[in-house]
Amino acid sequence: MENSEKKEYSTCIGNESKLEIPRDMKQILESFYDGIWITDGQGRILYMNSANERISGFKREEVLGKYTQELLDKKLFSKSAIMEVLKSKKRVTLMGYNYNTKKHVLITGNPIFNDDGNIKYIVNNVRDITDLERKSKILKDKENIINRQKQEIEHLKSLKNNADSIKRCGIIANSSKMLRVFELSQRVGKFDSTVLILGESGCGKEVVAKSIVYASERKESPFIKVNCGAIPENLMESEFFGYDKGAFTGANQKGKIGLFEMANNGTIFLDEVADLPLNLQVKILRVLQEKELIRVGGLSPIKLDVRIIAATNKDIEEMVLKGNFREDLYYRLNVVTITVPPLRDRQDDIPALTNLFLKQFNKKYNLNKVISPQVINYFIEYSWPGNVRELENVIENIVVISQEQEITDKHIPLRILNGLRIGKSAVEVKDILPLKEAVDLTEEVLIKKAMKKYGTTRKAASVLKVDQSTIVRKMQKFNSDTL
């Protein structure tokens, strides 16, 4: 067989770039499913098989003799392994995209060196991975769906756990506001931060404190509840910190452990913390800072590991401004604040609370009374200045006093019915007077009522939906700074 039958040549730009490919090798290259193209040491294209025509979308005669950089500049494809090989003089593999055929490709460029160590040829292998990319995307989408389903399952589990926790803690949380309070208490419970719970009297601050404890790692440890306003001032120090034997006349000869020591490794709940006298606030601040206490009459400090949850129905910020509560203690207590909304702002909870209390008192008094929907509607309309505690007392009153099995509107206490009527017609007009004078008079009545009920300009402003400065200015106008 003659040489012309054994070899074929691909020649570009005269003799500057010459590539000899035996016929058998060319047939082998043409049989590849992957695209093959070969360049010289300057990136000039010398050979391209038919598979590369299919993948790239252009004919070999359109590109033979052209430099790879030209095709890259024309945005025919996104990346070039050949150009990277010329830079690094090493084998390069990268992902690319062909804009002409919209195919994703895996490209590998292999340098072939001459005897002087310079690149003589670069063999480029191009594999169409569009189908693999499509399948990968499908798998990724399925994985995302699975992950979303897992998240939904976890969310449902969380809701169930929250529902179980709500039931265990005795919290009624049908309203969005109370659900937020409960979710916050669950998050806070997982940490050991000091918590300050704010809210009107009777709104359920102690229940929120319990929910924090139940969500914490201290739930099996002591939980000591203290009403700071119920302890006589002269006994407070010994009650809180205990005393050693012989500390004072009449003291137990064995000494006495204090409330903080009783709560060691657990939680102490300081309800009505704003009622603490200033001299005791200093000592509680020391407990918070030093994690230790000294009993009355004692000398040795006792180490403590106690979490503090405090609560108050007073405007403690205003007390700080007036010097009635220590600022340093306030900031120590106020690491995390949870504000419990009053019952009038969470009306969705009223039906469930009503049924809960009715069930409790039916069981307590061995009764089987039911309550009419109309009564619950009245309860929803009432403002409940005493909050949940007032509702509980009203239910017990009705259960005990009513003789019928069904509780109807005739059993509702008169003060609640009067409250409903006042709520529906809060402004009484007895005579005709100038409109501006009527507005001023109404403002004066409302501000005085708000100040009498809430005690501070800040709370009055919040209820009346105006700035605190507006309340102060109008009070000065009414020549009244104390109501």
Q: What's the pTM?
A: 0.57
DSSP codes joined into one string, 106-173: EEEEEEEE-TTS-EEEEEEEEEE-HHHHHHHHHHHHHHHHHHHHHHHHHHHHHHHHHHHHHHHHT---
Q: State residue 171's pLDDT score.
A: 67
Nearest-Å Rg of the Cα atoms of the chain is 41
Q: State residue 11's pLDDT score.
A: 41
Which of left, alpha, beta for 10 (phi over 0: left; psi -120 to 50: alpha)?
Answer: beta
DSSP state of 45: E
Token pair 């019915």 in the structure block, residue? 417
Q: State residue 1's pLDDT score.
A: 39
Q: State residue 195's pLDDT score.
A: 96
What CATH homologous superfamily does 182-340 map to? P-loop containing nucleotide triphosphate hydrolases (3.40.50.300)
Long-range contacts of 253-259 (CB under 8 A, 24+ apart): 255/295, 258/293, 258/295, 259/224, 259/226
pLDDT by position in tens, the chain (length 483): 344 444 444 444 334 456 777 787 888 888 888 888 899 988 898 888 988 888 888 888 888 888 888 888 887 778 788 888 888 889 988 888 888 788 888 888 899 998 888 898 999 898 888 877 777 777 777 777 777 777 766 655 555 555 555 555 556 778 888 888 988 998 999 999 999 999 999 999 999 999 999 889 998 999 999 999 899 988 898 899 988 875 565 556 677 888 999 999 999 999 999 999 999 999 999 999 999 988 888 888 899 999 999 999 999 999 999 999 999 999 999 999 999 999 999 989 999 999 999 999 999 999 999 999 889 988 988 889 899 999 999 999 999 999 899 998 888 888 888 777 444 445 556 667 787 777 788 888 888 888 877 778 888 888 888 888 888 888 887 764 444
Angle of CA points 409, 412, 417, to nearest 5°: 90
Q: State residue 183's pLDDT score.
A: 87
**Domains in the chain: boundaries:** 3-128, 130-169, 182-340, 344-424, 435-477
Neighbours of 40 (CB within 10 A): 19
Neighbours of 304 (CB within 10 A): 17
Using CA atoms, how far apart are residues 245 and 247, in angstroms rounded to an integer?
Answer: 5
Amino acid at 420: L
Q: State residue 155's pLDDT score.
A: 55
Interstrand relation of 195-198 and 336-339 (parallel, antiparallel or unpaired): parallel
Helices and strands in the chain: count of H runs, count of E runs: 21, 16
Q: State residue 335's pLDDT score.
A: 93
Percentage helix, strand, coil, to 5, in the chain?
A: 50, 20, 30
Per-residue exposure over 239-267, b if at least 16 CB sit within 10 Å of its own CB, e if not? bbbbbbeebeeebeeebbebbbbebbebb
Q: State residue 160's pLDDT score.
A: 53
3-state secondary structure of 343: helix
Using CA atoms, how far apart are residues 416 and 418, in angstroms rounded to an integer?
Answer: 5
Rounded (10°) CA dihedral 77, 82, 87, 88: 120
Under 8 Å CB-to-CB from 153, ≥6 apart: which residues? none
Using CA atoms, how far apart are residues 446 and 436, in angstroms rounded to an integer?
Answer: 15
Alpha helices in 233-372 (DSSP H): 233-241, 259-262, 278-290, 316-322, 327-333, 350-364
Beta carbons of 47 and 10 less than 8 angstroms apart: yes
CA distances from 133 to 36, 51, 78, 81 (A): 21, 19, 16, 19
DSSP state of 274: G
Using CA atoms, how far apart are residues 224 and 242, in angstroms rounded to an integer?
Answer: 14
Under 8 Å CB-to-CB from 223, ≥6 apart: which residues? 210, 213, 263, 266, 267, 269
Amino acid at 59: K
* CATH fold group of domain 3-128: Beta-Lactamase (3.30.450)
Q: State residue 427's pLDDT score.
A: 57
Alpha helices in 323-467 (DSSP H): 327-333, 350-364, 373-381, 387-401, 414-424, 435-454, 457-464
Using CA atoms, how far apart are residues 32 and 52, in angstroms rounded to an integer?
Answer: 9
Neighbours of 235 (CB within 10 A): 9
Amino acid at 375: V
Q: State residue 462's pLDDT score.
A: 82
3-state secondary structure of 104: strand
Neighbours of 335 (CB within 10 A): 15
The listed CATH number (3.40.50.10420, 1.10.10.10, 1.10.8.60, 3.50.50.60) that belongs to domain 344-424: 1.10.8.60
Using CA atoms, how far apart are residues 65 and 156, in angstroms rounded to an integer?
Answer: 65
Beta carbons of 242 and 256 less than 8 angstroms apart: yes
Beta carbons of 131 and 118 less than 8 angstroms apart: no
